[in-house]
Every structure is written in structure tokens, then in C-alpha cells.
Structure 1
Amino acid sequence: MTTDKTSPDLICLGALAGSYGVRGEVRLKSFCAEPSDIAEYSPLSTEDGSKSYPVTLTRAIKNGFAARIGGIETKEEADALKGLRLYAPRDRLPALPDDEFYHADLIGLDVVDTGGTLLGRVRAVMDHGAGDLLEIAPPGQTNTVLLPFTLEAVPTVDLDAGRIVADPPEGLF
């Protein structure tokens, strides 16, 4: 997921990975649990909300979708948007069960151990296919630590208190 410091009212749903073909289509990477759902939240906006783009998926391709973005007609215009992250307002997204979280809600939370000692702050949430990992920046260190985001390693996420209680494997921190 993303490490962007966006408004808590915006959730990053995808990113553009350049052009697809020569007629203005883009390569779209979806960050949604069900990747094709990204089109249901159209129009999507830039991080600052200054631009809004209607999104229409045209077909599935390797690592995402080919899509039409409103106002983009040429390969050059599509290439110029490479790397652009697309956001939707939180109120347009479904409510989550108590044991699920949007990655954007976890980024920036303090991580403490079961004794209350500060272990660091969540810098990013990553998913490499085998489950989510929390990238944690320990205080005063430049290296980060990857903590599996499992019930065993992370028994408590308290969004109201702005913290995560972790029980990391021995020797991780």
C-alpha cells in the first residue's frame, strides 16, 4: 500500500503505470481487495483533489488493467500520467469489519510491545502475496523492521488511540 500522507478522508485505490497502446489507454494498477472494483469508485481524484478522472476498465492485462481515463486521448498524455496515484473519498468506500483495516489507517500509528514500550511507527503496509507486512521505523534508527500483520504478531489495533500493540517474534526488534 501507500506511504502517502494524504487527507484521512481520501484512500489511495490505484496508480497509473504508463500508457497501454497508442490510443490513450493507460495501465492501471488497482489496490482494491477485488481489483476490478476500482471502476465502481469512479471518478477518482489526485491526492490533492485538484483533478478528477472518470475511469473505465477496458480489459485485464498482466499486473492490472488497461483503462480509459477521462480527458486522456493520446499515448503521450497517458505516459505523462505515469506514477499518478488515484484516490476516492472514504465515504464512498464500504465499511470494514472490526478485524479489517484500510492500509492508510495504519500508516503513521505508533507500535508498542505488550509492555507498552515504543517499538516504532508504521511507515508502510506491504503485501507481497503471502500476507501483509508492517514496515516499522524504530525511533532513532534509519533501518526499518518488517512485522507480519497477523493476529499472533499484532493482537491489537486501536485506531482511536493511534497505536498498535505488537507481540513480535523474539529478536525482531
Structure 2
Amino acid sequence: MTPEKLVCLAAIAGVHGVRGQVTVKTFTEEPGSVAAYGPLQDEEGNSYRLRLKGRKKGMLIAEIEGVKDRNAAEVLKGKRLYVKRDALPQPEDSEEFYFADLIGLEARDNADRLLGHVSAVYNFGAGDLLEVRDETGGERLLPFTRDVVPEIDLDQGRVLVDPPPETEAGSGQEDEEKNAPKT
């Protein structure tokens, strides 16, 4: 049985005031829609119902049901808040998808060789990256661009990948060490 896919919609960034309100960083297209999907949950499965109260410096201010004071709100700082994938609307365009839909897809090259499975999607500030994990547990990060990932087929459960040479299996630290001059 596979666990239900969860999509991270927000994170509790801090505390606002003394009555238990929090500041929330949202990852939704429209920040205010974060509360429209019903209760959110954290990684442990705890449920949180948000009531939006305002905005502050690009974040939302929210009350969380059951949180009445600053001390209780402080404990929640850093919590990531998720919703079940099936609670989100289906993308309108066939070219649109949620990153959560990519997790678990086969990553195949142009010769239809299995490179591994998509295990995560990251963005460290310089663009999106796909993490592909092979059968041995080896991982590689690939730029998530149309050149490197020219095709996504959710129905077939795969992505076509044309990895740049520097991300090919076997390239990396161990190759650098092998080719380093001996002293």
C-alpha cells in the first residue's frame, strides 16, 4: 500500500503577538488560498486549521485552532504544512503538474534505459532540480529544464531525461580523485 502523496502548501515562519498567532510562508500561487483546502497536516499527521487574519512582509498572519498563546505558537515554528494531493484541483493544462506528481516516476534516457526514479524536487535558489535515485541508492541532481527533461508522461509513469555529461553516473568526486595528480 503506497502512502498518500502530500503537497507542502506552507510553513510556519514565526510567532505574531502574544495571543498565539503565527506568520505563515505559503507556497501556493495565491497565498490566501492556503486555508481553502481545509485542515492542513504536518509530517507527524497532526492537523491544523488556519484562520487568516492579515499580511505582514510577504507572509500571512494566521490563527491556528486550539493555539491560544505565544508559548504554544512558538512550538510550531518551522512546521511545514501539507495537504493530501487529491484535495488539490487537477491542473487545467496538460503541460501543468504538481511537483508531488513527479515523485516515484521512472527516469529513462533516450535509449529507454532506466536511470532510476524521481525521489525529490528541490530549488535552492538557482532553479528547480530533480533528484534521481538509482537501484543502488546512488543519487544525482539534474537541472529541471526542458533541455534535460524534455518529456513528462504522468500516464506512463515516466520522465525522459537527457542528462548533461557532468551528471552522468560515475562522474563526480570519485572521478576527480582518480584523475588527481599523485603527490
Q: Same fold (TM over 0.5)?
A: yes
Q: Which residue number corresponds to residue 32 of structure 1?
A: 28
What code does the residue aligned with 1:69 have?
A: I
d(CA) in 1 for partners of 2:23, 2:117: 33
Q: Which residue number corresponds to residue 151 of structure 2?
A: 156
Q: For 1:52-71, what per-residue CA distance to the aligned partner results, in whole angstroms no more than 9, with x for missing partners?
A: 33212333334632221111
- Higher RCO, 1 vs 2 (CA within 8 Å, ≥6 residues apart): 1
TM-superposed CA distance for 1:168, in Å, is 1.7
Q: Which residue number corresponds to residue 180 of structure 2?
A: none
Considering fraction of residues, name the structure with more helix. Answer: 2
Verify: 1:123 aligned to 2:119, yes or no: yes
Q: Which residue number corresponds to residue 82 of structure 1?
A: 77
What code does the residue aligned with 2:69 have?
A: T
- SS for the counterpart of 1:122 is strand
> Radius of gyration: which is bigger?
2
Of 144, 160, 164, which residue of structure 2 is paired with 1:165? Answer: 160
Higher mean C-alpha displacement, 36-45 vs 146-155: 36-45
TM-superposed CA distance for 1:117, in Å, is 1.8
What code does the residue aligned with 1:73 have?
A: K
Instruction: Give RMSD over aligned pairs.
Output: 2.6
d(CA) in 1 for partners of 2:120, 2:16: 29
TM-score by length of 2: 0.75
d(CA) in 2 for partners of 1:21, 1:6: 37
With over 3 angstroms needed to count, the CA separation of the structure-2 counterparts of 1:163 and 1:146, relative to structure 1, is: same
Alignment check: 8 A CA contact 2:4 2:84 kept: no
Identify unmatched segments of 5+ residues in structure 2: 169-183
Q: Which residue number corresponds to residue 22 of structure 1?
A: 18
With over 3 angstroms needed to count, the CA separation of the structure-2 counterparts of 1:93 and 1:72, relative to structure 1, is: same
Identify unmatched segments of 5+ residues in structure 1: none
Percent identical pairs in the alignment equals: 46
Equivalent residues in 2 for 1:58-73 (5 A)? 58-62=53-57, 64-73=59-68
TM-superposed CA distance for 1:33, in Å, is 2.6
d(CA) in 1 for partners of 2:23, 2:61: 5
